Amino acid sequence: MKADTHPNYDFITIVMTNGTTYKTRSTMGGEGKSLSLDIDPSVHPAWTGSTNTLLDRGGRVARFKDKFAGFIKK
Protein backbone atom coordinates (compact mmCIF):
# COMPACT_ATOMS: atom_id res chain seq x y z
CA MET A 1 0.00 0.00 0.00
CA LYS A 2 1.27 3.46 -0.86
CA ALA A 3 2.26 5.77 1.96
CA ASP A 4 0.49 9.12 2.49
CA THR A 5 -2.54 8.30 0.33
CA HIS A 6 -5.19 8.71 3.05
CA PRO A 7 -6.40 12.16 4.19
CA ASN A 8 -5.93 13.31 7.77
CA TYR A 9 -8.78 12.42 10.12
CA ASP A 10 -8.92 15.31 12.59
CA PHE A 11 -11.31 16.60 15.25
CA ILE A 12 -13.57 19.45 14.09
CA THR A 13 -16.42 21.36 15.75
CA ILE A 14 -19.92 21.21 14.26
CA VAL A 15 -22.04 24.33 14.85
CA MET A 16 -25.80 23.77 14.48
CA THR A 17 -28.22 26.49 13.34
CA ASN A 18 -29.56 26.89 16.90
CA GLY A 19 -26.03 27.51 18.26
CA THR A 20 -25.33 24.12 19.82
CA THR A 21 -21.94 22.59 19.09
CA TYR A 22 -20.34 19.18 19.24
CA LYS A 23 -17.03 17.66 18.26
CA THR A 24 -16.58 14.91 15.71
CA ARG A 25 -13.85 13.60 13.46
CA SER A 26 -13.70 14.45 9.77
CA THR A 27 -11.38 14.66 6.80
CA MET A 28 -12.66 18.19 6.13
CA GLY A 29 -10.29 21.02 7.00
CA GLY A 30 -7.87 20.25 9.77
CA GLU A 31 -7.48 20.06 13.54
CA GLY A 32 -9.61 22.68 15.31
CA LYS A 33 -11.64 23.78 12.26
CA SER A 34 -15.40 24.31 12.52
CA LEU A 35 -18.30 23.47 10.20
CA SER A 36 -21.47 25.57 10.36
CA LEU A 37 -24.60 23.74 9.20
CA ASP A 38 -27.23 25.57 7.18
CA ILE A 39 -29.80 22.82 7.76
CA ASP A 40 -30.44 21.58 11.29
CA PRO A 41 -30.81 17.76 11.34
CA SER A 42 -32.75 17.90 14.62
CA VAL A 43 -35.71 19.67 12.99
CA HIS A 44 -35.37 19.09 9.22
CA PRO A 45 -37.99 16.68 7.79
CA ALA A 46 -35.36 14.72 5.87
CA TRP A 47 -33.89 13.44 9.16
CA THR A 48 -36.95 13.49 11.42
CA GLY A 49 -39.25 11.64 9.03
CA SER A 50 -41.88 14.36 9.19
CA THR A 51 -44.03 14.63 6.08
CA ASN A 52 -46.37 17.38 7.19
CA THR A 53 -44.44 20.03 5.21
CA LEU A 54 -44.47 18.08 1.94
CA LEU A 55 -46.23 20.04 -0.80
CA ASP A 56 -47.84 18.27 -3.73
CA ARG A 57 -47.24 20.42 -6.79
CA GLY A 58 -49.12 19.32 -9.84
CA GLY A 59 -50.02 15.91 -8.42
CA ARG A 60 -46.44 14.63 -8.46
CA VAL A 61 -46.69 12.93 -5.07
CA ALA A 62 -50.03 11.38 -5.98
CA ARG A 63 -48.64 10.06 -9.27
CA PHE A 64 -45.61 8.63 -7.47
CA LYS A 65 -47.80 6.91 -4.88
CA ASP A 66 -50.05 5.46 -7.60
CA LYS A 67 -47.09 4.23 -9.63
CA PHE A 68 -45.36 2.49 -6.72
CA ALA A 69 -48.41 1.56 -4.60
CA GLY A 70 -47.76 -2.19 -4.60
CA PHE A 71 -43.96 -1.96 -4.46
CA ILE A 72 -43.56 -1.77 -0.67
CA LYS A 73 -45.75 -3.93 1.53
CA LYS A 74 -46.86 -2.42 4.82
pTM over 0.85: no
Taking only the tens place, the pLDDT of each residue in 5-56 is: 888 889 999 898 888 898 999 988 788 899 888 877 677 766 676 666 556 6
Taking only the tens place, the pLDDT of each residue in 39-52 is: 776 777 666 766 66
Where are the domains positioned within the chain?
1-44
Q: What number of other Cβ atoms are within 10 A of residue 37's Cβ?
A: 12
Residue 55: name the closest of 66, 68, 45, 40 by CA.
45
Q: How far apart are CA 59 and CA 64, in angstroms?
A: 9
CA angle 16, 19, 41 (to 5 degrees): 25
